[in-house]
Amino acid sequence: MTAASLDSLTPVSQPYSVKLGPLQLSSCAVLAPMAGYTDSAMRRICRRYGAGMVFSEMLSAEGARRNNLKTFRMAAFLPEERPYFVQFFATNPEQAADAARILSEVQPDGFDLNFGCPVRKIISNAGGSALLRDIPLLARIVEATVKATPIPVSVKIRLGWDKQSMNAVEVAQAVADAGAVWVTVHARTRSEFYGGKAQWDWIGEVKSAVTIPVIGNGDVRQADDAIRLLQHTGCDAAMIGRAAMGYPFVFREINHLVQFGEPCPSATPSERLTAVKQHLDWMVEQWGEKRAVLDFRKHLLCYVRGLPHSVPFKAEAMKLETHLAVVDAIQKFFSLLPEIPFVQPPVHVKVES
């Protein structure tokens, strides 16, 4: 394992431009695909605050195959989001290849195949992390997707199905042989869902075993975690999920720490207000006022979490129904806070099982 000392927080010795397979990224921190969260608005916000690249929410290959309008709306993106990979799950090679051909119309920078989703609905259809139990089929899905279009294909996996079958190294070797440009490892098994502690040692094991780049993922809650993950495992980039919810500044903080070797201050209320308003505006642009205002509620809860007076604010804000009313409320909320950096507490999101 290429582990550096966990105690040292010196900047990683890598150029600030990070090469990841066919891409040259401006940051070693990338936004995780998150169903229900990483729509175009959240991806734009995270890119604006320094995410090196972004992924769509997980789409269904079958949905693409059936020309499902919802699938296409979820895959759509704006040029400023690039580098942007569309993530989908598939259960067989033909379906995956068809989906890649159909979704190539959207012209993403790549496709990411999901072999990590632990959700029962997906598993019961033999998708997501269920495929970790059938490496030959998983590899054929990757190979078929790679052959279907010239667009690069990456893969996202977990450590294995459960602790008795931790096969991330074998899976990563198989997807590398099948032509994947990199592999992202969420350092938990399927049976752990999102609980327990991510086992970063396994990311290092995968990194030592394959020649394609490895993105490490799991439990990067703040900037110094990302540095520790890179140093501990030797992985090429860190993927950030929950820590980016309501706090896109995590990317700015990681980039600052990598570049200068010292932390930058947390976001101030006025910076948060700018981000939260922009995020809402972009959601309204994308989804229309009614849907955006409803969908934005979960983001708003994240944007204010841990801040003074957020509890009564949340109760009130959840009742607001117009764009104007939400903007008015968030303006009042943030303007009452002292203009000092507030450290972001960890997020607790209930994820469907």
Contact positions vs ligand FMN (CB under 6 A) = 32-37, 57-58, 87, 114, 116-117, 156, 186, 217-220, 240-243, 349, 351
In angstroms, give the least distance from the CB of 127 to ligand FMN. Answer: 11
Burial of 327 from C-beta contacts in 10 A (0-12 / 13-18 / 19+) = middle
Q: What's at 33, amino acid-wise?
A: P
Shortest-Cβ-distance residue relative to ligand FMN: 241
In angstroms, give the least distance from the CB of 218 to ligand FMN. Answer: 5
Residue closer to ligand FMN, measured from CB, 25 or 273: 25
In angstroms, give the least distance from the CB of 235 to ligand FMN. Answer: 13
Residue closer to ligand FMN, measured from CB, 36 or 345: 36
Distance separating the N- and C-terminal Cα atoms of the chain = 33
- Sequence-ordered list of residues with C-beta below 8 angstroms from that of 169, at least 6 positions apart, any chain: 202, 205, 206, 209
Contact 127, 117 (CB under 8 A): yes
Contact 171, 135 (CB under 8 A): yes
SS3 8: coil
Task: Measure the CA dihedral 86/192/160/238, to 10°.
Answer: 50
Residue closer to ligand FMN, measured from CB, 145 or 323: 145
- The Cα 221–Cα 269 span in angstroms is 20
Residues belonging to the chain: 353
In angstroms, give the least distance from the CB of 59 to ligand FMN. Answer: 9
- Sequence-ordered list of residues with C-beta below 8 angstroms from that of 67, at least 6 positions apart, any chain: 102
Residue closer to ligand FMN, measured from CB, 127 or 269: 127
Mark residue 166 as left, alpha or beta (left: phi above 0; alpha: psi -120 to 50; beta: remaining).
beta
Residue 117 bears catalytic tag: yes
Of residues 28, 46, 117, 302, which has the active-site annotation?
117
In angstroms, give the least distance from the CB of 115 to ligand FMN. Answer: 9
Q: What angle do CA 198, 156, 194 make, to 5 degrees?
A: 35
Residue closer to ligand FMN, measured from CB, 220 or 254: 220
In angstroms, give the least distance from the CB of 282 to ligand FMN. Answer: 19
Residue closer to ligand FMN, measured from CB, 186 or 279: 186
Residues taking part in catalysis = 117
